[in-house]
């Protein structure tokens, strides 16, 4: 088993998308470091802190293609952080000694944290794209199947009839809330980090806050109300959102897996030749996408647990918790992207089988709507008496003594107030969907794609 599965060739494609993995690659990260350094130079040139020529020269050469990665890796292992070794290289690239103005008044964490924020901004955009696609697929399923009856299940047993569209709409409601949460998170997350060695901007004197604001403007970020380099709730909230998203995706995957069981067979993941196949059982069509969705939920949850632990930092610079983020943040996003892709693949081509939903509804010959019968009898016989009669009839039907309808009609009190045709209508599952179709339509009507 590979040590870091998200970066491994054999399993990696199952646990992340190429787009998300590329965002968190070494080259992409180092380019973000260079982007921040160049933006800092431009911001300080605007304020007259460094020469304009220096800012232009630094911006012109701040390209990842120039980086000697072997040297950077070797020096990073010695220093413990990549920024000092990177600035050593960057400082040599501009002509006429202008590289001396790189990293003016900054500290390592300023550059790394701000680069992280830029990465997370792009990563959240990818997450939102996937959520939008999943939402569209679910909305289509909910609309088509708003009145398609199926068994609602509690404790893995038949409970009451629902519609498949209603089930999809409940999934959709969570996806829509996650999209709203993502937008609500942005003002708290997309904030520049530029505060100097202990967070006071002392190295820049009176120009410190102006530099911070100008850097934020250069990068399209907000300026913070106060230094946050040891207060990491924004990053932890981000993985919390991912954990919520992955949890919802896992729930959808779990439901699909259960509905795909041979004994149920009410939905199937899209058919792709060979997908979900067994090495020994040619008949198998395993729920591979749903399995990845469920696995992603568990893995992302653990990354969020790490981020919660990393919130507990010492004084004004962490002596280890910060390093936890270097593992947890990329892993959370990459694995979440794999789960989201699995959900999109499963839902955009989900094979829905209404005929098997109807067949399964009839397995108990009306028992699934025992509540409907009880509520129908209650006005005529009294609720408690109706409950006791229906309960006894259910037991006889379950024991195989009678069908549910025949057991009911064998009760003199029932036969006296209900003709058979009316009773059979009460035991028809499709007649007892309640407000499920209406709620489904209402959700679809009020949502913004």
Tell me, what DSSP letter sits at residue 400? Answer: T
Cβ pair 210, 90 in contact under 8 A? no
Residues annotated as catalytic are 155, 278
The helix or strand, by DSSP H or E, that contains position 173, with its residue range, turns out to be: helix 164-189
Other Cβ atoms closer than 10 A to 74:
12
Helix (H) or strand (E) run with residue 380 in it: helix 370-381
Distance of CA 60 to the CA centre of its chain: 38
User: CA–CA separation, 17 vs 8, rounded Å?
Assistant: 12
β pairing state of 351-352 and 267-268:
antiparallel
Write the DSSP assignment of 36-74 as a string of letters: HHHHHHHHHHHTTSS-HHHHHHHHHH--GGG--HHHHHH
Q: Coil, helix or strand for 378?
A: helix
Q: Return phi, psi of residue 32, to 5°.
A: -65, -40
């Amino acid at each position: 088993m590979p040590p870091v599965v998200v970066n491994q060739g054999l399993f990696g494609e199952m646990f992340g998308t190429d787009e998300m993995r590329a965002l968190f690659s070494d080259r992409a990260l180092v380019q973000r470091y260079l982007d921040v350094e160049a933006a800092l130079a431009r911001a300080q040139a605007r304020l007259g802190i460094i020469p304009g020529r220096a800012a232009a020269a630094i911006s012109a050469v701040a390209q990842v293609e120039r980086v000697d990665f072997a040297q950077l890796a070797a020096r990073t292992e010695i220093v413990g952080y990549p920024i000092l070794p990177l600035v050593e290289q960057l400082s040599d690239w501009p002509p006429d000694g202008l590289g001396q103005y790189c990293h003016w008044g900054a500290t390592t964490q300023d550059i790394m944290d701000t680069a992280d924020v830029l990465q997370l901004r792009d990563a959240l955009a990818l997450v939102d794209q996937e959520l939008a696609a999943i939402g569209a697929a679910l909305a289509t399923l909910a609309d088509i199947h708003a009145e398609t009856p199926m068994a609602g299940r509690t404790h893995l047993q038949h409970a009451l009839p629902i519609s498949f569209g209603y089930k999809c709409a409940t999934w959709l409601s969570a996806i829509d809330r996650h999209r709203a949460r993502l937008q609500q998170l942005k003002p708290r997350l997309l904030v520049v980090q530029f505060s100097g060695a202990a967070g006071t901007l002392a190295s820049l004197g009176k120009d410190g806050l102006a530099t911070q604001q100008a850097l934020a403007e250069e990068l399209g970020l907000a300026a913070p109300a106060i230094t946050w380099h040891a207060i990491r709730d924004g990053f932890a909230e981000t993985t919390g959102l991912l954990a919520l998203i992955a949890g919802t995706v896992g729930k959808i995957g779990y439901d699909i897996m259960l509905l795909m069981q041979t004994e149920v067979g009410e939905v199937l993941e899209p058919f792709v030749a060979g997908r979900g196949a067994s090495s020994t059982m040619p008949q198998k069509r395993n729920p591979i996408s749903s399995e990845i969705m469920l696995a992603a939920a568990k893995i992302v949850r653990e990354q969020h647990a790490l981020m919660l632990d990393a919130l507990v930092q010492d004084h004004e610079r962490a002596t280890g918790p910060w390093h936890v983020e270097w593992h947890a943040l990329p892993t959370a996003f990459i694995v979440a992207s794999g789960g989201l892709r699995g959900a999109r693949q499963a839902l955009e081509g989900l094979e829905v089988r209404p005929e098997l939903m109807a067949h399964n509804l009839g397995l108990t010959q009306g028992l699934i709507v025992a509540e409907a019968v009880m509520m129908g009898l209650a006005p005529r016989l009294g609720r408690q008496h109706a409950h006791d009669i229906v309960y006894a009839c259910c037991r006889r039907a379950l024991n195989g003594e009678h069908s549910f309808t025949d057991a009911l009609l064998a009760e003199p009190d029932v036969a006296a107030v209900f003709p058979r045709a009316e009773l059979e209508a009460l035991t028809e599952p499709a007649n007892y969907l309640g407000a499920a179709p209406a709620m489904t339509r209402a959700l679809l009507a009020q949502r913004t794609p």
